[in-house]
Amino acid sequence: MNWQAYLWSSLSAARITGSLLLRRKRILFMGLLVLLPALLPVAVAFLRRPNSGAAWGLELFGLIAEFGFLGTLAPLTAILLGTALVGDDLENGTAPYLLTRAVPRSALVVGKFAAYALVTSAAFLPAMALTFLAVVLTAPAEVEIGAGLFLLGRTFVVVALALLVYGALCCMLGTLTQRPVIYSVMFVFGWEPLTQLVPGYVDFLTLKKHLLALWPVLTTGGTGRGAEITRKVIDVSVAEASLILLGTVAVLAAVTTLTLRKKEFVRGANLA
């Protein structure tokens, strides 16, 4: 199959998968869930006392983005949607009708994953922008717009990468196992936090450590309005973290493809 036919197969898989994702109730649930952080600046503005020392302005946005979008919502979205990309087809019996066609397994995986990335990024970008707008409106004197927009762009790129890498992991688990949601939850909300309590280099076996290597840290000036974007000082460089994360996505996608290739299908039955 030449590259044009391969591209057409991938685009067809992406179009069908995107249409199915948008019709599911879980995408509506996630769409509403990712909008909730935009309410936090309003709540903080209402409850905050003068000179309380609580996070405010861009510092507040950074905390919401890191612990809300990156630490919770991105992996949760990957668990709910990523595990179903191929797993639902295998579970409900539609996989044989897809995989017995003259379509490369890799094109199917690429197309499905591209649709997932596009749909989830399209949900997160306006949600993060709305959260940033809420921060600006509740603390206009504390926010420098230029630095704030730069911070918004940097954080969104990392969150989008988190959606990709967690999605690739969950998609692979959905192909390999019959309980992908349980294993995904154990990894994201069990293994990754547990490594923070273990001394040594165990945390290098997590995705979050490498994502945090790319995460910007906001350092406010003496007036509280100026801002400088720096990076967290950790043991993984930005270049290394980027290569590891992108390589992880490629490896997980390859494992998913190889797993599908090894499965034997006939019309109406999965013989794997």
Q: What is the pLDDT of residues 102-113, one digit of tens each?
A: 567 788 888 889
Task: Label residue 228 left, alpha or beta by phi (over 0 means left) and psi (-120 to 50 means alpha).
Answer: beta
Mean pLDDT of the chain: 82
Q: Which pLDDT tens digit goes with each residue over 165-191?
A: 999 999 999 888 889 999 999 999 999
Confidence band of 139 (pLDDT split at 50, 70, 90): confident
DSSP symbol at 48: P
Instruction: Please report the pLDDT score of residue 263 as a whole number.
Output: 66
Band of residue 69 on the pLDDT scale cut at 50, 70, 90: very high
What confidence score (pLDDT) does residue 222 get? 42
**pLDDT tens-digit readout, 197-237:** 887 788 888 999 999 999 987 655 444 444 444 444 457 88
Q: Is the pLDDT of residue 137 over 50?
A: yes
Query: Could you tell me which residue, 131 or 235, shows the higher pLDDT?
Result: 131
More confident residue, 71 or 98: 71
